[in-house]
Chain A
Amino acid sequence: DTAVSQTPKYLVTQMGNDKSIKCEQNLGHDTMYWYKQDSKKFLKIMFSYNNKELIINETVPNRFSPKSPDKAHLNLHINSLELGDSAVYFCASSHGTGVNQPQHFGDGTRLSIL
């Protein structure tokens, strides 16, 4: 009964490749997010989707493209992977967009670029 699930958990690939990370939530939430956590454990918002509409894009390179086939899914596609893309990527979801709405996170996808 996992609430927010991401696949794969680990992703090791070479520079220049294109890869996708999938995220699904079964909480009935209408807002989903992608965060990047760097090697120093600093978490930063990348994207959010509300009712299938992109709400924000925090200066993320256009090699990153979120795709949401429905409100339960928000996938992250990355083109032409670079060494600096190595990080842990977290998907999250929330009910509504209120300031105090708790966000529920997946367990992360650990991306390593060789």
Chain B
Amino acid sequence: TQLLEQSPQFLSIQEGENLTVYCNSSSVFSSLQWYRQEPGEGPVLLVTVVTGGEVKKLKRLTFQFGDARKDSSLHITAAQPGDTGLYLCTYSGGGADGLTFGKGTHLIIQP
């Protein structure tokens, strides 16, 4: 079983600050995905990273896949209260294996 370690587990910062959360593993992945789950809702896909070293931007969110394809990071610039949620790193083994999730980073952005 490939394990995904996410850090920090909890993060509470003020609106306007920048932050980075991490997803690490000792295994190599063909791709990783990031989902965000807001309270009372299901996870929603943010991005899929496929190529080692790849950087993808989604407005104020920047996702990076490690060169060795063992880790990924999510950087948020000028965080806003709407960014509050549970950020989940995940991979799929394909073939309807479903998703294997990390334990997530609980992010709270205070106004």
Q: Which of A31, A58, A100 has the most CB of B within 10 A?
A: A100
How many B residues touch A, CB cutoff 8 Å?
Answer: 27
Using known A-B contacts A42-B103, A43-B101, determine if residue A106 contacts B42 with beta carbons closer than 8 Å. yes
Cα-based distance from A98 to B93 in the complex (angstroms): 9
Which B residues are CB-close (under 8 A) to A90? 42-43
In the complex, whether B96 has a CB less than 8 A from a CB of chain A is yes
Size category, A interface = 20 to 34
B43 adjacent to A97 (CB under 8 Å): no
Chain A, 60-77, CB within 8 A of any chain B CB: none
Q: Mark A residues whose CB is within 8 Å of B.
A: 4, 31, 33, 35, 40-45, 48, 50, 55-56, 58, 90, 92, 97-103, 105-108
Q: List 13 A-B contacts (CB under 8 A).
A: A35-B98, A45-B98, A45-B100, A48-B96, A48-B98, A90-B43, A99-B31, A100-B48, A100-B50, A102-B48, A103-B45, A105-B44, A108-B40
